Structure 1
Amino acid sequence: MKMSLTDPFLLTPAEAAAADRETDASGIPIFHLMQQAGFAVAAEALRHFAQAERFVVLCGPGNNGGDGFVAASALRRAGANVSIHLAGRPEELTGAARLAWLEAQTPAQSFSSYQPHPGDVIIDAIFGAGLSRDVPPEVTDLITRVREVGCPVLAVDLPSGIDGLTGQVRGAAFQAQRTVTFVARKPGHVLMPGRIYCGEISLAPIGMPTRIARRHARTVSVNDPRAWKAAINVQQGDTHKYKRGHLAVFSGGPSHTGAARMTASAGLCAGAGLVTLASPPDATLVNACAMTAVMVREIADLQDLKMWWASGKISAAVIGPGFGVGEGLRSYVHASAARPMVLDADAITAFAERPDELFALAAGSEPRQILTPHEGEFARLFPDLAADKTIGKLERAKRAAERAHAVIVYKGADTVIAAPDGRLLINENAPAWLATAGSGDVLAGIAGANLAQGIPAFEAAAAAVWLHGEAGNKAGVGMTAEDLIRHIPAALEDLLSWCRL
């Protein structure tokens, strides 16, 4: 089994600042952390940019600039050609950054005086993770000049211009080839587009005790098995199909059955003991001819559905893929509201004009619904949150989950999983080729299978998103949704083997 798991531990910029202060108060000075950070940057520069004719260190007025001063001094001692450019005047520096400047004993030039040349390697130590406003014009101009010449950029903590909390570009940002960060990654390293702007990321220890850092990490983590391993059902020798749950998937009409069939097949491959495709009468023959291990049951109307639910044989449901938008779908959701349920695609759009009706169905109970909107569906269901440019994807997902009383899987290259109680995970294992028709239907089926097996909604959603990404990696470039389904068992075997450890 080969499984690469990066450290899920993330610190928001505010949490990182609080951890710095506690570390300083514990007897480990900020200046010591700064020195270790600067040494790590210099080592990274020498290791990966040996071809540099000159290292140009761009220093901001805060602690990120202090890291840059230390790195410049270390590079000069190593025999490198180094030039320092500073935002503002040296006499305006304070605290540990001023100490680092005094130790550097090197004159600094202004940003405006720097003209990039081929052969320069930029060490970007201007702003780091704490940036929460647009970069000033002089930095925008500098970014433009560096980009035009094509100088490689090594970013300190985060590329200047990337918001450390949201991953968004604040006006303009350096495109780094590599980024060195410290103690833990920030959300801006994992969220888009920050993830792309960072290039390759190295995580350097700088002497901060892990116990202090982890004490302040309260907001968000990367989505990987360590976040939900305890909730996963590792199959034992005495298991049988009824113990593994019975998943219902609802099909659309005769010309719209493909999405639901993919959802049902994915649910079966992902571990549900039984899967039944609930089919309208005019689509029953189409579905029956196409399915083998998945059962097909004719559900003609709401009365049929209520009788099926009353039988007590269904553990969870997925509704939405290919179903069609309208009152019929909403009535099915109302009739199914007491069950664990994944609402995907049409089931989200159907409530776009009356979202409070949907949210009221899950109020006052443990979350049992998983909503899986992509960007457009999220905007339809939560238009005010989608339009609020003052908040990032994490905050939008968090508020949406609280409002909906449901787990939100806010899909994209940086899918965010949010629980009504405030838990947040960012997924990062999904390959770009998952962006293909039917991929979301497969994800809904995996999540439904997890719910059917009794996994709580947040953990069911998070595990489904991760497994979906792993199956995509195994399927490879050019995969289709059908390929993705075929690779679920191998990804699941890797996951279960890891969970047994």
Structure 2
Amino acid sequence: MLPFREVRVLDINSEHLGVPIDSLMENAGEAVAETIVEEFGTGKKIAIVCGVGNNAGDGFVAARNLLRYCDVTVLLASPPAEIKTENAKRAYERIKHIAFSSVGANFSNFDIVIDALLGTGNLTEVREPYRTLIERINAANTTIVAVDVPSGLATDVAIKPQMTITFSDVKEGMTAENSGKIIVKDIGIPLDAYHVIGPGEFVYYPKNRPDSHKGENGKVLIVGGGPYTGAPALAGMAALRMGADLVHIATPAASYITISTYSPDLIVHKLSQDVLCPEDVEKIMGIAETVDAVLIGPGLGRDERTQEAVRMIVKQCSKPMVIDADAIVAVAADLSLIVGKECIITPHSREFKILTGEDVSVAMAEEAAAQLGAVMIVKGKEDIVTNGKWTKINRTGNSRMSVGGTGDVLAGEAVAMLSKEISIFNAARIAAFTNGAAGDLAFEAQEYGFIATDVISKIPEVLRKYLRKI
């Protein structure tokens, strides 16, 4: 079953793969028309009731195709000027000669009423004029057919069709009871749109409210540094560029000065020793209570004291976590610490083998994620992103991503997404795509000479490019 928002993901990813929305709309409308004729025959008097979005566009295309076989009228819920999408506007122009206002229409006068009002975009409530229209259609003595999903599905007012013609797959929440006979039609969405991460994943990126205040869009804690100073700083700057409001870094004394002077945008907390120690855990957990998500691992090293402290933090932490780098090695010694935690684990091939004892494969990544109840981003030529039940492959990025620090950037992007309170799987897929896409932009600018900070500088460009399309 497809969640409603995944329909939008598929649409955007299809377009990214070269199949435009117009083509999908044409295929959807043709599929509706063909199914109506197959199921009910020709010569029927049909009303297609349309809203203002792409679902209406499907209805407009269906009307054009049904005109060859039936007496068709298009009834509009709102004036044509309110049609929202360019795709639907273009489809409307080709059938406007049979389009009229739905005000006063007697739906019982039609053999079939086709519902193309709201589609998969309406999730919470049905407003006027749709509420009244739905009630009038349901009360009519006629056959009702819904396009893709019954309008208002999962709300208090929904179309009650005898049949639903849906596309690609059954949508979440659809049953024979609320959707009638369900007929699934293929409309040409590329297979890779389902299995490869693309810009459609950004439908889950939470855009800031106009009246939001400092900290409301994500507060992050990064536990890192000691032997290595660059890793936590890179992760912190990546989290900020990804849209987190505040980034705290808890780092050992040996790396404190370097990281605290790296950027005034980072809030840096000095720990007691030159490496992370169990004595610092209480202080770190106090900071963790003030943030939305925690990243642990960048630059920590594998000192025995550090490894023990990592395990203590992971065990005690109740916030969503990203477990990266040497923290992966620490938890590999006691995987029970991860079970039940809301976390993303970001191993490369060597860390994956330490974690699982196995070489990297999609099947092994899925098995590990399922056993741990975590999301894995297994970094490689093609990143594997899986929660054990659902797997997507990320193909953004290039061979220069081997430069030191790009993994820290990915971890920072992932924790930023977690801090915005989206699911760990959605956070992982957005982070993986963004990291590779920013790396591709860096490669365009500097080819094999780009470095991790260049990737960070390109993150806003990736967000600007793709979020404006959502």
SS at match of 1:417: strand
Shift of 1:261: 1.0
Equivalent residues in 2 for 1:402-481 (5 A)? 402-420=370-388, 422-476=389-443, 477-478=447-448, 479-481=450-452
Counterpart Cα distance in 2 of 1:212 and 1:273: 42
Structure 1 residues 323, 233: closer, same or farther in 2, change over 3 A?
Answer: same
Contact 1:330 1:347 in 2 (8 A): no
Structure 1 residues 216, 268: closer, same or farther in 2, change over 3 A?
Answer: closer
Counterpart Cα distance in 2 of 1:397 and 1:455: 22
Shift of 1:309: 2.8
Structure 1 residues 419, 330: closer, same or farther in 2, change over 3 A?
Answer: farther
Counterpart check, 1:268 vs 2:240: yes
Match of 1:494 among 457, 460, 465: 465
Deviations 1:49-79 (A, max 9, x none): xxxxxxxxxxxxxxxxxxxxxxxxxxxxxxx
Shift of 1:489: 1.1
Contact 2:347 2:379 in 1 (8 A): yes
Contact 2:241 2:460 in 1 (8 A): yes
Contact 1:279 1:296 in 2 (8 A): yes
Counterpart Cα distance in 1 of 2:210 and 2:409: 28
Contact 1:330 1:351 in 2 (8 A): no
Counterpart Cα distance in 1 of 2:355 and 2:390: 21
Counterpart Cα distance in 1 of 2:320 and 2:463: 22
SS at match of 1:223: coil
The count of residues paired between Structure 1 and Structure 2 equals 285
For residue 249 of structure 2, what is the aligned residue in structure 1? Answer: 277
Shift of 1:435: 2.1
Contact 2:311 2:331 in 1 (8 A): no
For residue 343 of structure 1, what is the aligned residue in structure 2? Answer: 323
Structure 1 residues 487, 361: closer, same or farther in 2, change over 3 A?
Answer: same
Equivalent residues in 2 for 1:324-363 (5 A)? 324-325=301-302, 326-336=304-314, 337-352=317-332, 354=333, 357-358=334-335, 360-363=336-339
For residue 257 of structure 1, what is the aligned residue in structure 2? Answer: 229
For residue 208 of structure 2, what is the aligned residue in structure 1? Answer: 235
Across the aligned residues of Structure 1 and Structure 2, the Cα RMSD in angstroms comes to 3.1
Shift of 1:247: 0.8
Counterpart Cα distance in 2 of 1:362 and 1:220: 29
Structure 1 residues 403, 216: closer, same or farther in 2, change over 3 A?
Answer: farther
Counterpart Cα distance in 1 of 2:466 and 2:307: 34
Shift of 1:380: 1.3
Equivalent residues in 2 for 1:9-88 (5 A)? none
Structure 1 residues 292, 218: closer, same or farther in 2, change over 3 A?
Answer: closer
Counterpart Cα distance in 1 of 2:280 and 2:401: 36
Structure 1 residues 313, 393: closer, same or farther in 2, change over 3 A?
Answer: same
Contact 2:202 2:466 in 1 (8 A): no
SS at match of 2:250: strand
Structure 1 residues 310, 258: closer, same or farther in 2, change over 3 A?
Answer: closer
Shift of 1:417: 0.2
Counterpart Cα distance in 2 of 1:456 and 1:379: 26
Where do 5+ consecutive residues of structure 2 fail to align?
1-11, 20-37, 39-167, 169-182
Counterpart check, 1:246 vs 2:214: no
SS at match of 2:411: helix
Contact 1:241 1:272 in 2 (8 A): no
For residue 379 of structure 1, what is the aligned residue in structure 2? Answer: 353
Contact 1:342 1:369 in 2 (8 A): yes
* Structure 1 letter corresponding to 2:343: Q
Counterpart Cα distance in 2 of 1:474 and 1:403: 36
Deviations 1:290-325 (A, max 9, x none): 231111112335454334434621211111111011
Equivalent residues in 2 for 1:288-327 (5 A)? 288-300=260-272, 301-310=277-286, 312-325=289-302, 326-327=304-305
Contact 2:381 2:399 in 1 (8 A): yes
Please report the TM-score for the alignment, with normalisation by the length of structure 1: 0.52
Deviations 1:160-210 (A, max 9, x none): xxxxxxxxxxxxxxxxxxxxxxxx9xxxxxxxxxxxxxxxxxxxxxxxx98
Counterpart Cα distance in 2 of 1:406 and 1:286: 33
Structure 1 residues 211, 316: closer, same or farther in 2, change over 3 A?
Answer: same
Structure 1 residues 490, 413: closer, same or farther in 2, change over 3 A?
Answer: same
Counterpart Cα distance in 2 of 1:247 and 1:282: 22
Contact 2:300 2:306 in 1 (8 A): no
Where do 5+ consecutive residues of structure 1 fail to align?
9-26, 28-183, 185-208, 387-391
Contact 1:240 1:273 in 2 (8 A): no
Structure 1 residues 259, 308: closer, same or farther in 2, change over 3 A?
Answer: closer
SS at match of 1:350: helix
Deviations 1:316-341 (A, max 9, x none): 11111110113423423432432211
Deviations 1:129-155 (A, max 9, x none): xxxxxxxxxxxxxxxxxxxxxxxxxxx
For residue 60 of structure 2, what is the aligned residue in structure 1? Answer: none
Counterpart Cα distance in 2 of 1:235 and 1:287: 28
* Structure 2 letter corresponding to 1:457: I
Counterpart Cα distance in 2 of 1:492 and 1:348: 29
Counterpart Cα distance in 1 of 2:280 and 2:239: 23
Equivalent residues in 2 for 1:151-230 (5 A)? 211-212=185-186, 221-226=195-200, 228-230=201-203
For residue 286 of structure 1, what is the aligned residue in structure 2? Answer: 258
Shift of 1:286: 2.3
For residue 35 of structure 1, what is the aligned residue in structure 2? Answer: none
Equivalent residues in 2 for 1:104-119 (5 A)? none
SS at match of 1:395: helix
* Structure 1 letter corresponding to 2:259: N
Shift of 1:281: 2.4
SS at match of 1:409: strand
Counterpart Cα distance in 2 of 1:433 and 1:447: 20
Shift of 1:349: 2.1
Deviations 1:368-388 (A, max 9, x none): 1111111111111111x32xx
Structure 1 residues 219, 6: closer, same or farther in 2, change over 3 A?
Answer: closer
Counterpart check, 1:6 vs 2:17: yes
